[in-house]
Amino acid sequence: MNLPTVPRTIKVPRGYFDQPEIELDMTRIDEANRRMHEARFVNPATQKELEGLFNEAANEAGKYMAWIDYEILKIKKVHDKNRARVTLGKAVEEAKRFKAEGMKMNEDIRDALYATDPDCEKSLDIMNELTTAKAVLETAFWSFVRAHKSVAESAQNRGSAPTPNLVGTIGRTYESPQANFMGKDERKSNG
């Protein structure tokens, strides 16, 4: 029984801070997920519909992954600029202070400066959120591709698989009631 579904959207951040979030309509993806189990017992009546549903859901997940990839490229650019600002600004100031105290600037200190900078932290959080959203969609995408292929192959195999007409006696088939389990006619060998 298919229950009525409420359309669901997920929001993902944009690569530039000043842009609104992207809303992704998950209705088709959710429907394909709910019907994934039907791939196990597909029949000629449901084959084409399931193939179409899984194909459309895979296409939609693929499109969303491409959008997210573009946002990841943008936030990576923002994050690199934030790190450069810290390196050329705060790190230079801190290096002077460390030198006065007899210490040297090193990679660990620079990493600490990046980690404590609010803009670096924000851009890294957005990059991580986008990467996670893409990973979830990529998992769904490949599941739908496999389900589509499984439905297509399953229905194809059902149409061409031989179905023996067994009569209920082990070793005997309907077509040759005199043959034993190995296919030999018992009457000819005994007499």
| Residue 18 one-letter amino acid | D
Residue 40 in tokens: 């196990």
Residue 120 in tokens: 């670096």
H or E segment to which residue 23 belongs: strand 22-25
Max intra-chain CA distance, the chain: 113
pTM over 0.85: no
Q: Are 81 and 122 in contact (CB under 8 A)?
A: no
Q: Are strands 22-25 and 9-12 parallel, antiparallel or unpaired?
A: antiparallel
Q: Are 149 and 55 in contact (CB under 8 A)?
A: no
> For residue 81, what are the contacts with CB-CB under 8 A and spacing of at least 6?
none
| Domain range annotation of the chain | 9-160, 164-191
In angstroms, rounded to a whole number, what is the distance separating the alpha carbons of residues 78 and 122?
Answer: 10
- From first to last of the 191 residues of the chain, give the pLDDT tens digit: 455 567 899 999 999 988 999 999 999 999 999 999 999 888 888 899 999 999 999 999 999 999 999 999 999 999 999 999 999 988 888 888 888 888 888 888 888 899 999 999 999 999 999 999 999 999 999 999 999 999 988 866 665 444 444 445 455 444 545 555 555 555 555 54
| Residue 149 one-letter amino acid | K
Residue 58 in tokens: 């895979």
In angstroms, rounded to a whole number, what is the distance separating the alpha carbons of residues 176 and 170?
Answer: 13
**15 φ/ψ angles, rounded to the nearest 5 degrees:** -70, -25
> Which alpha helices (H) appear in 25-117, and where do they start and end?
27-34, 44-88, 90-100, 107-116
